[in-house]
Amino acid sequence: GKVGDRLKSFYKELMINTLKDYNHAKIFIQNVPLQIESLENKKNKNMIAKYGESEKGEGKSLEDTILDINAKIDLLRKNYKDALVLIDATQIAMGCLSDEEIEITLGIYGNIDKKSKLNDLMKKYHYEKSQVYRIANHG
């Protein structure tokens, strides 16, 4: 009935958002180590004195500037751990799918630019549009 259809639609939207978050998380974790290293380098007292790492010329004290940098590093580390949990959980959930099904499902529902990915998948696997969507919906 209508309730079942709404629940199915809600669940599908939830899964699509999870797949998008999964793709974003995979990109995010690649950049975190460099971001943390860059922030660690900014904590050097000589660098702060020379280049004034305070935000928008607020004239923060050295201690406040270092505290701000440490807070940014802590947040990056927390978000990194959260991203790893999301990636692991999503990969476990996709464990029963073939590599082809995973690529098609992520390609259709995990990307912002669905249209160009759709064409690539149709060419790669020699499928019609409806078959690509059938596989993605199944995934």
d(CA 44, CA 59): 17
Does residue 102 contact residue 91 with C-beta atoms inside 8 Å?
Answer: no
Q: What is the pTM of this model?
A: 0.77
Cβ-proximal residues to 54 (8 Å cutoff; 6+ apart), any chain: 48, 60, 64, 65
Per-residue pLDDT of the chain (139 residues; tens, 9 = 90+): 888 889 988 988 999 999 999 999 999 999 999 999 999 988 877 767 665 554 455 567 888 888 999 999 999 999 999 999 999 999 999 999 999 999 999 999 988 766 678 899 999 999 999 999 999 998 8
Report the 10 Å Cβ neighbour count for 130: 8
Residue 128: both structure tokens together = 């019609």
pLDDT at 2: 87
| 133 three-class SS | helix
pLDDT at 62: 84
Does residue 121 contact residue 132 with C-beta atoms inside 8 Å?
Answer: yes
Residue 35: both structure tokens together = 């971001």
